Structures are given as C-alpha cells and as structure tokens.
C-alpha cells in the first residue's frame, strides 16, 4: 500500500529545439520531475550540419539546463561524452528510465516527422509515455489539421489573412491596418549605394569546449567558425537581438527585404530564425515586439515594413508547417520535374566565378546564414533550373543553415524553391534569368559573366538555364496563366538561338556534373 502512494517519478525530455522557458511544464517546480536534455550522436548523423548550427544548439541546450536548475527544477544535462555509446534517442531514454527509476516519460511533440515517429513507436515495458503540445506556434496541432489537407494546393495569402483576423494582428475594426493586407509592391526594392547597412549585432559566445567535444567524437561538420559563436543562445541574448532589430533594422526591413549586395551579409534582416526555431523565442513574442515598435508614438517603423515582417512569421512560418505536416512522409519523396543531377561541388566550397552564387555560398559557409532571396533566387533558382535532385538540394539546405530544421526547411526547399511538390506551396516555379539578379543586386557589376547575353561563352549561366528551363518544361508550364508572359518571351526567341541555348545548357551541365 505504502509503495502505491509514492509519487510517480517523471522524466520530461527536452529536445534541442524545444528550449521554451515559458512552456507550461515549467510553471511549477516539482522534485519528482526530472528534466533531461541531451546531446546525441543520432542528431549529428542524419545530415552533415554546419559547425555553427551544432555549436549553437549545444550551447543553447547547456544554457537552458542551467536556467532551469537556477529556477529550482531537477535537470540532468548529458553531453556527448556521456551519451556517445547510445546509438538512438530511444536507447538513451531506456537507459535513463532504468538509471533514474522512472515511472512515466513525457515529451513535447517533436516538429520533425523523423523524431515524432521514433518517439511514437517507442513502447517501453512498465513505463507510461505521454506526449504534450510544444505550445510554440500560433496554431495548435488541431488548428493546423483543420486548415491543411494532404495533397491539396494551399496558398499563403488567404491563410495569412485568416491568421491576421484570428489572432487580431495589425487589425483595426475588422480591417487590415493601413487599408491593405499586403504591402509587397511597396517593398522589393534594390539597395541604393547611398544606404548605409548597419553592422550586424553579433554575440561572443565561447565555442571552443564544444568544438573540442565534437572533435573527440569524430562528428563531421561543414562550414567555418571562429573561437566565438555569433548567434544568440539564451533568452537574454535573443531578446537583445530582437530589440536591436526593432530599433535599427525594422524601419528598413520591408523595403529592402529582397535586396542583395556584396556590401553586407544580412542587411536589414532580423537573424532571429535560430532563436525562433530553437523556441528560445516564441513567434508571438517576436510579432508583438515588431507591432509595438510600429505603434509607438513617432515610430520610425512604417506600415509596409511591419506588415512585411509579420507576414513572414504569422504567415509563411505557420504556413510551411501546415504543408509539412499535411503531406509527410510522401512530401520527402516528391520530384515532379524528375530532376536528377548531382548538386554541383561548388555548393560546398564557394569555388565559382558566378559572383551572385559565390556571395551566397561563401557567406553561408562563413556564417551559416543567407537571407531568403539568396536562398530562393540565387542558390535555389540555380539548382532548380539546372535540374538537381531535390533530395540533394534538401540535404544541402538542411545542413548549411543555423536555422535549418526539416519542418521549415523542406517545404521551402522542395516546395517553394524546387517546385518538386508540383505546386502544393507555389502556383509557379520561382525561376529567373540574370536580369532579376541584376535588378536586385550589385553582383553582376563584378561578375566574370555577361548578364546581358543569353548565348556565347561568357553568357550569364542564369540566362542560359532560364530559357532552357522554359524550353524543357513548356508542356507542363505552357498552360499556366502565371507563366504566360515568360512563355510568350520564350516563343519569340528565334529557333536557331533556342538550339544554341539548349546546347549551352547541355555543356554547362556536363561541366558541372
């Protein structure tokens, strides 16, 4: 009888991307609850990560464990030295259950299909297992299911409007603030030479101990790191980055969000994606801070700027999560354009004479970061038009960016960028010739290639691949009304020149194979 009255011993698993100190789990201190946070080999092996991504997650996990302990919780933080013998998360959990005489294991639903499946299929003997919501997103698991259907095309705009209304963001008397839902047309400007780009606010988190640990365990990473990590790894740092963004960058965010330049690597972007995706910051916290900056008396933040920013988080971020969960696991196999080429080796080195690609890849290797238009219209656009196998494109994006977690990476890559999902995310492929890159950047001025040429040895490869893409896929995209203008231009190209473009594209593919 007495033994039955003993309180149950509970283990609560905190995954590396669940570092939300405001989760309802932590509202009460209970000494029968043990929080477990662990560096695991399995999470380092499913893809090769950028060194800054791994260090950022490991440092953030350490800081989170310290914080919980300070708040009075019982916490066990395991590092690789203590977990290297466990090949899987569930093997490790089974060990913890035994070592700490646990009666019940609780976990927050992972956002990644792979991990959710792994935990759902774990059935340890004599131990209860319970899953709870992460409480991170605007939409609950149920809310998400109601809005997204497997295999159906969804579009951002109606979803985003509904989200603005449901969560009462930038709304006044039932109408959108500023009289418009979307200020995209006011945005999308190139960066004039006279605009000074503020220096990015960087942190100085010591990275050496974790690097030594990764070396000790033979963990292979990519990219570079100095002795310090520049990314925020706890809530105090993330809040400081958010405050700096609202003060110095948000006033120009929307206007220049699509601009590219060799003068800087993050321009007016927030660089909050790691803090958001590790759940150190909630999307609501970030959106509320941006809206508050806009609503201040004499604010320097315009309506188009704040709307452009809110759309990314309340709109796109929640939207791609819906696409991912409605369509997994099939989504990971989609390749409607039958793209089969290998990813060119320069994606891993930056060794290319194409100035736009060089900038995007070099800064990705150096910082684990490129902004949205670089990901979509430089690296993504090139891979799409070349015809690279989307699995390889996914692996590159999932590895190289500090913010890359499959639920957000895959719909952006396979869907928006590679059109491999056949249009579930986007109504047409995001392709462009060099003309767009010339308009939105200063790269073409210093490039070895000629952005005005579509044939000839020095023709910009984006031009060659663009017309070749329209040629190869005209049966599929010809009837698409959103592609009509592009197709009309293509049809005006003389037949002889089309042959030259085809053969130039073929040569380029052979050179890059």
Stretch that binds ligand SF4, among 261-269, 326-334, 454-462, 504-512 (CB under 6 A): 454-462
Alpha carbons 85 and 40: distance in angstroms, whole number:
9
For residue 50, the SS3 value is strand
| Burial of residue 146, with CB atoms counted within 10 A of its CB: 0-12 exposed, 13-18 middle, 19 or more buried | exposed
Cα dist from 437 to 84, 299, 432, 441, 469, whole Å: 46, 32, 8, 6, 17
287 φ, ψ to 5°? Answer: -65, -45
Pick from 259, 337, 408, 483: which binds ligand FAD (CB under 6 A)? 408
Closest to ligand SF4 by CB, 428 vs 445, is: 445
Per DSSP, helices labelled H in 71-199 are 80-83, 89-99, 113-120, 141-147, 156-166
CB of 438 to ligand SF4, least distance (A): 6
Cis peptide, bond prior to residue 218, ω within 30 of zero:
no
Which partner in ligand SF4, ligand FAD, none is near 447 (CB below 5 to 8 A by kind)? ligand SF4
Question: Is 37 an interacting residue with respect to ligand FAD (CB under 6 A)?
Answer: no
Q: How far is CA 432 from the centre of its chain?
A: 22
Residues 307-326 contacting ligand FAD, CB under 6 A: 312-313, 316-317, 320
CB of 295 to ligand FAD, least distance (A): 19
Residue 270's DSSP bridge partners are none
Question: Is 468 an interacting residue with respect to ligand FAD (CB under 6 A)?
Answer: no
Question: Is 285 an interacting residue with respect to ligand FAD (CB under 6 A)?
Answer: no
Per DSSP, helices labelled H in 328-424 are 355-367, 372-373, 381-386, 390-400, 406-410
Which partner in ligand SF4, ligand FAD, none is near 416 (CB below 5 to 8 A by kind)? ligand FAD
Alpha-carbon torsion, ordered 14, 18, 20, 25, to 10 deg: -40
Pairing of strands 104-108, 10-13: parallel
Alpha carbons 468 and 10: distance in angstroms, whole number:
59
Q: How far is CA 377 from the centre of its chain?
A: 15
Alpha carbons 349 and 343: distance in angstroms, whole number:
12
Cα dist from 174 to 143, 160, 177, 295, whole Å: 21, 15, 9, 17
Contact yes or no for 466/456 (Cβ under 8 A): no
Question: Is 462 an interacting residue with respect to ligand SF4 (CB under 6 A)?
Answer: yes
Both structure tokens of 437: 């890159």
Stretch that binds ligand SF4, among 125-133, 338-346, 388-396, 432-440 (CB under 6 A): 432-440
Closest to ligand FAD by CB, 64 vs 265, is: 265
CA nearest neighbour of 409 among 17, 68, 51 = 17
CB of 373 to ligand SF4, least distance (A): 13
Which partner in ligand SF4, ligand FAD, none is near 461 (CB below 5 to 8 A by kind)? ligand SF4
Residues 338-377 contacting ligand SF4, CB under 6 A: 354-356
Residues 355-374 contacting ligand FAD, CB under 6 A: 371-372
Which partner in ligand FAD, ligand SF4, none is near 316 (CB below 5 to 8 A by kind)? ligand FAD
Alpha carbons 454 and 451: distance in angstroms, whole number:
8
Question: Is 163 an interacting residue with respect to ligand FAD (CB under 6 A)?
Answer: no
CB of 460 to ligand SF4, least distance (A): 3
Residues in the chain: 513
Which partner in ligand SF4, ligand FAD, none is near 403 (CB below 5 to 8 A by kind)? ligand FAD
Which partner in ligand SF4, ligand FAD, none is near 460 (CB below 5 to 8 A by kind)? ligand SF4
How big is the site for ligand SF4, counted in residues (CB under 6 A)? 14
Stretch that binds ligand FAD, among 139-147, 170-178, 295-303, 396-404 (CB under 6 A): 396-404
CB of 352 to ligand SF4, least distance (A): 9
Question: Is 268 an interacting residue with respect to ligand SF4 (CB under 6 A)?
Answer: no
CB of 466 to ligand SF4, least distance (A): 10
Question: Is 454 an interacting residue with respect to ligand SF4 (CB under 6 A)?
Answer: no
Alpha carbons 432 and 505: distance in angstroms, whole number:
15
Closest to ligand FAD by CB, 13 vs 402, is: 402
Alpha carbons 314 and 139: distance in angstroms, whole number:
10
Pick from 134, 187, 205, 413: which binds ligand FAD (CB under 6 A)? 413
Contact yes or no for 420/333 (Cβ under 8 A): no
Pick from 449, 467, 469, 477: which binds ligand SF4 (CB under 6 A)? 449
Closest to ligand FAD by CB, 366 vs 471, is: 366
Alpha carbons 179 and 171: distance in angstroms, whole number:
9
Which partner in ligand SF4, ligand FAD, none is near 187 (CB below 5 to 8 A by kind)? none
| Residues of the shown chain interacting with ligand SF4 in the complex, contacts defined by CB under 6 A | 354-356, 434, 437-438, 443-444, 447, 449, 451, 460-462
| Residues of the shown chain interacting with ligand FAD in the complex, contacts defined by CB under 6 A | 269-273, 276-277, 312-313, 316-317, 320, 371-372, 375-376, 380, 397, 401, 403-404, 408-409, 412-413, 416-417
């Amino acid at each position: 009888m007495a033994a039955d009255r003993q309180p149950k011993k509970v283990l609560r698993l905190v995954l590396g991307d669940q570092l939300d100190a405001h989760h309802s789990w932590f509202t009460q201190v209970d000494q029968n609850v043990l929080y477990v946070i662990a560096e695991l080999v399995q999470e380092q092996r499913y893809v090769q990560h950028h060194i800054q991504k791994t260090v950022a997650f490991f440092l953030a996990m350490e800081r989170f464990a310290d914080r919980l302990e300070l708040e009075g919780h019982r916490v066990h933080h395991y590092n690789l030295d203590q977990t290297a013998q466990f090949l899987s998360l569930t093997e490790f959990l089974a060990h913890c259950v035994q070592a700490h005489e646990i009666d019940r294991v609780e976990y927050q639903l992972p956002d990644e299909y792979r991990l959710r499946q792994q935990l759902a299929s774990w059935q340890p003997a004599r131990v209860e297992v319970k899953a709870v919501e992460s409480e991170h997103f605007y939409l609950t698991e149920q809310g998400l299911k109601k809005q997204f259907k497997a295999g159906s095309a969804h579009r951002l705009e109606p979803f985003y409007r509904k989200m603005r209304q449901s969560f009462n963001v930038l709304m006044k008397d039932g109408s959108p603030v500023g009289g418009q839902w979307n200020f995209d047309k006011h945005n999308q400007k190139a960066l004039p030479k006279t605009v000074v780009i503020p220096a990015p606010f960087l942190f100085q988190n010591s990275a050496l101990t974790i690097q030594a640990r990764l070396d000790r365990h033979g963990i292979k990473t990519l990219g570079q790191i100095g002795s310090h990590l520049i990314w925020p790894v706890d809530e105090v740092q993330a809040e400081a980055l958010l405050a700096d963004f609202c003060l110095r960058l948000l006033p120009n965010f929307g206007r220049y969000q699509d601009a590219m330049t060799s003068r800087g690597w993050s321009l007016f972007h927030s660089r909050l994606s790691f803090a958001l995706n590790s759940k150190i910051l909630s999307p609501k916290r970030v959106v509320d801070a941006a809206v508050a900056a806009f609503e201040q008396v004499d604010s320097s933040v315009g309506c188009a700027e704040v709307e452009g920013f809110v759309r990314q988080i309340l709109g796109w971020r929640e939207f791609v999560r819906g696409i991912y969960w409605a369509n997994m696991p099939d989504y990971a196999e989609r390749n409607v354009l039958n793209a089969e080429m290998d990813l060119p080796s320069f994606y891993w080195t930056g060794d290319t004479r194409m100035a736009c690609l060089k900038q995007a890849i070099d800064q990705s290797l150096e910082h684990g970061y490129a902004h949205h238009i670089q990901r979509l219209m430089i690296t993504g656009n090139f891979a799409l038009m070349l015809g690279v196998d989307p699995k390889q494109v996914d692996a590159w994006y999932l590895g190289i960016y500090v913010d890359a977690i499959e639920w957000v990476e895959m719909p952006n890559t396979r869907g928006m960028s590679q059109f491999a999902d056949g249009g579930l995310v986007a109504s047409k492929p995001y392709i462009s010739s060099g003309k767009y890159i010339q308009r939105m950047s200063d790269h073409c001025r210093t490039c070895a290639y000629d952005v005005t040429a579509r044939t000839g040895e020095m023709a910009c490869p984006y031009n060659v691949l663009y017309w070749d893409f329209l040629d190869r896929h005209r049966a599929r995209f010809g009837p698409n009304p959103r592609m009509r203008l592009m197709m009309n231009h293509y049809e005006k190209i003389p037949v002889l020149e089309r042959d030259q473009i085809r053969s130039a594209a073929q040569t380029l593919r052979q050179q890059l194979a």
